[in-house]
Structure 1
Amino acid sequence: MRKLIAAINMTLDGFCDHTAVIADEELHSHYNELLRNAGALIYGRITYQLMESYWPSVVKNPTGIKSFDEFAILIDNIPKIVYSHTLKNVDWKNTILKGEIIKEEISALKQQAGKDIFVGSPSLIVALSQLDLIDEYQLCVHPIVLGSGLRLFKNIEHRIDLKLLNTKTFDSGAVTLYYEPIKKSVNG
């Protein structure tokens, strides 16, 4: 069984903004390792369009920064699933478009053999959390207080208790926190 892992960068005050975080070589090397263990990536429209607008061009015209260029190649080759009600088509290779999140469909995807599935869009992390489909959270918290923006967990409707599994600290001061949801027993 594959795990569904929510992996995302965020500020100390809980906002997701790719322009605010520290995307240095060390962090890209960390995410390269994650991508090497990814069997699929799940995105919403906004994150997909952000990633698709940049990384395929790096594959064609490398930056010369090893970790960035490697990230571009890795993400380009991984199967991607995009959930959107507004997109009509997707152009990035290895990408399929779906309109609706169906719990049974994602559960079946998790049951398949292969590498883990990563979700990296704030809205989909919330949606999949509310369906109790997330097996692990990998939250990379950057030493930045942004004050406003898109909050990661702003629309969570029920409490999710988590167990800390591990931490990883980066030279930039960012810390990745690895959590798994604590499954509630039927009796309690």
Structure 2
Amino acid sequence: MSASPSGASRRVVTWASVSMDGFTSGPDGPQHDTWLYEHAMQEGTAVYFEGIWRGADTALLGRTNYEGFHSVWPSITRDPATDPRTRDLGTWLDTVEKVVFSRTLEKADWNNSRVAGDLEAEVAALKRAPGRDILVLNSASIIHALLRADLVDDVRFAMVPTLVGGGLRLFPDGLPASKWSLAETTALAHGAVGLHYRRA
């Protein structure tokens, strides 16, 4: 996706992987979600996600995802055995502007990262600034807050053919009503389905 035309605001795009029953992680937390790991390791997932992250030049994360990504991705990127597509993603994660929303994190040490407190004001300012898409990286709490603030333009997720029975919902009760139009569906070889909705 190219940069926004002059005067047009950037798009906020949310990304997550979700179970068939609507959870981004199961009842025991993401460290026990083998279904997510197995989905993420599929070539089809990498190809599909590449079409999303390459269109963004700013990433939004909550503290948990930021710390998790920072703990594993630099070593994956440096590993000579890492395949080129995964290395490209790691390089993007290393260099992209990263805005971390946290009440407890005081500073973010990863390259090109900063901590922000006021999510609505920060995202509204980012949307007015020049640039490409603003991508929320699988941080459900950030997605919830941005949906409540009516700051999301595109919702993208991969529905994984797994029922987990509980955990953290991508779309919890209490979100404001809104209408969306289907932009694209993509069937992945391992049974997951990529879904892309735009605000109607």
| TM-score normalised according to structure 2 size | 0.84
Alignment counterpart, residue 126 of structure 2, candidates 109, 128, 131? 109
Q: Is the 8 A contact 1:25 1:67 kept in 2?
A: no
Structure 1 Cα separation of the partners of residues 82 and 176 of structure 2: 45
Which digits, 9 at most, give the CA deviation of each residue in 1:96-139, with x for residues without a partner?
111231x2432221122211000121000000000000001001
Which digits, 9 at most, give the CA deviation of each residue in 1:137-164, with x for residues without a partner?
0011111111122111225432222211
Q: In structure 1, what is the equivalent of residue 153 of structure 2?
A: 135
Alignment counterpart, residue 2 of structure 1, candidates 4, 10, 15? 10
Structure 1 Cα separation of the partners of residues 89 and 179 of structure 2: 32
Whichever residue aligns with residue 34 of structure 1, its letter is: I
Deviation at residue 57 of structure 1 after TM alignment: 1.4
| Bigger proportion of residues as helix | 2
Cα gap change, 1:148 to 1:76, in 2 (>3 Å) = same
| TM-score normalised according to structure 1 size | 0.89
Q: Is the 8 A contact 2:144 2:175 kept in 1?
A: no
User: 2:131 aligns to what SS in structure 1?
Assistant: coil
Identity score, percent: 31
Whichever residue aligns with residue 118 of structure 1, its letter is: L
Q: In structure 2, what is the equivalent of residue 186 of structure 1?
A: none
For structure 1, list consecutive stretches of 5 or more residues without a partner in the other structure: 183-188
For structure 2, list consecutive stretches of 5 or more residues without a partner in the other structure: 1-8
When the two chains are superposed, the root-mean-square deviation of aligned CA atoms in Å is: 1.6
Alignment counterpart, residue 53 of structure 1, candidates 63, 71, 80? 71
